[in-house]
Amino acid sequence: MAAVICGSLAFDTIMNFEGRFADQILPDQLHILNVSFLVPGLRRDFGGCAGNIAYSLNALGGKALPMATVGNDGADYVARLNELGVGTEFVRTVADAYTAQAMIMTDRDNNQITAFHPGAMQQAHITRIASRPDLKIGIISPDGRDAMLQHAEQFKVAGIPFVFDPGQGLPMFDGDELSHFIEQADWVTVNDYEGKMLSERTGWSSADISRRVRGLVVTLGAEGCEVWIDGVVSHVPAVKPAAVVDPTGCGDAWRGALLFGLEQGWPLAKCAALGNQIGALKIAQRGPQNYQVDRRQLGF
């Protein structure tokens, strides 16, 4: 069985700033902000939410089918997915655009500033979801606005249960749109900041949201995560990483593990616990798709 992963395929340009952003930005001068950061370290990685989630799910032994678009510079990314054994039948090339690009700058405290060019991602809605016997589960992760709206509708019509994880795409939608996403979804996952924004825009508390879906997970970074089911919350503790090297893609690694557990029919708290384990593995390695998974060490 396979998981359809709706989201972006992107190239990540990672820059390391050896100082602290907070020391370089004057709070009372934000209206005339003009700063420059020296970044001695720079690298380019394969990234994007769909690619990163697919990498995590594939590493755990699941079958990942990213539904995404690349531009005329995306052949290397498609080739990499094929080499990893990730299905590319739903990856489409847009000839007159660049692949999405994320420019991510990280300071010494692992704070990040990101600039994102969507490129071909803006055409992600041209690929449609339809019912198929092997498609067991899906996820709506950050993507083009039209793609997120249309793919959620298509998952619902096709009868494919899906996770709504709006991530950094959440601010694109108003309260009515977000409420509709929740009403169509089977599970909702957000981080704590996104969770507050989601509640503010919909007027629904975390407990309210959890009563409208099969479960809500709110990730809390180093504090683990909250699992809400039918208005009742439980806490799933974090897993301490071997080292804190690079946070880029940690949330996507968590999402891939969540999908794996849901596909196995696990309770939501167990899925979240696996996500915490995979997130800890990822954060100890540079790049969003460079960590290794040993299922024997994970205890399943």
Burial 21-40 (b: 16+ CB within 10 A, else e): beeeeeeeeeeeeeeeeeee
Q: What is the CA radius of gyration of the chain?
A: 18
Place of tokens 């959890």: 210
- The token pair at 98 is 């660049």
d(CA 105, CA 41) in angstroms, rounded, equals 10
- Three-state SS string across the chain, please? CEEEEECCCEEEEEEECCCCHHHHCCHHHHHHCCCCCCCCEEEEEEECHHHHHHHHHHHCCCEEEEEEEECCCCHHHHHHHHHHCCCCCCEEECCCCCCEEEEEEECCCCCEEEEEECHHHHHHHHCCCCCCCCEEEEEECCCCHHHHHHHHHHHHHHCCCEEECCHHHHHHCCHHHHHHHHHHCCEEEEEHHHHHHHHHHHCCCHHHHHHHCCEEEEECHHHCEEEEECCEEEEECCCCCCCCCCCCCHHHHHHHHHHHHHHHCCCHHHHHHHHHHHHHHHHCCCCCCCCCCCHHHHCC
The answer to whether 143 is a known catalytic residue is no
The catalytic residue among 12, 107, 246, 252 is 252
Catalytic residues: 252
